[in-house]
Amino acid sequence: MNATPQTITITVERMIAATPEQAFDAWLDPAVPGTLWNMADKLILDPREDGMFYWRIHGTPHYGYFTELTRGRLLRHTWMSPYTGGLESTVSVSFQATPSGTCMTVVHSGLPDSDGGRSHDKGWNSILDGFSQRLAQAA
């Protein structure tokens, strides 16, 4: 009998100095420094429902497909990398308007409860730090 692997969920939140629509558009624009996609060594990005992405950084491939995109509110995609241990995980990015800009929340679920899975916490925190700082400078 195969045991179901233990999984974890990582949640990272930042305040962004932009409207939800501006933050959403910037997040999906590989030309914007500080985005996940901008730091890629190699990138294939088709941000539409059922569109695929391939993102390689420091020689490590990451890939998946977009399952939901609602401009200014939510985007969701699958995520696989050597660090997911063969599991297809899910990344949800939400954008909530606040009086001072946008609360952006990344929820990465279905990660293996392993060093590789837990390493995504550091990765998402670093990426969101860079993104929020970059948009604050542009404001």
Bridge partners (DSSP) of residue 83 are none
The pLDDT assigned to 137 comes to 83
- Considering the domain boundaries, does residue 37 fall inside one? yes
Question: What average pLDDT score do residues 88-110 get?
Answer: 97
- Considering the domain boundaries, does residue 2 fall inside one? no
- Considering the domain boundaries, does residue 72 fall inside one? yes
- What string of H, E and C letters represents the secondary structure of the chain? CCCCCCEEEEEEEEEECCCHHHHHHHHCCCCCCCCCCCCCCEEEECCCCCCEEEEEECCEEEEEEEEEEECCCEEEEEEECHHHCCCCEEEEEEEEEECCEEEEEEEEEEEECCHHHHHHHHHHHHHHHHHHHHHHHHC
Looking at the 3D structure of the chain, how many domains does it have? 1
The pLDDT assigned to 2 comes to 60
pLDDT averaged over the chain?
A: 94
Domain CATH for 81: 3.30.530.20
pLDDT of 118 above 60 = yes
- Considering the domain boundaries, does residue 26 fall inside one? yes
Bridge partners (DSSP) of residue 61 are 56
Question: What average pLDDT score do residues 16-31 get?
Answer: 96
The pLDDT assigned to 135 comes to 86
Taking alpha carbons only, the member of 47, 52, 51, 45 closest to residue 25 is 47
- Considering the domain boundaries, does residue 22 fall inside one? yes
- pLDDT tens digit sequence for 49-98: 999 999 999 999 999 999 999 999 999 999 999 999 989 999 999 999 99
Residue ranges making up the domain that contains 93 = 7-138
- Considering the domain boundaries, does residue 1 fall inside one? no
Predicted TM-score (pTM) of the model is 0.93
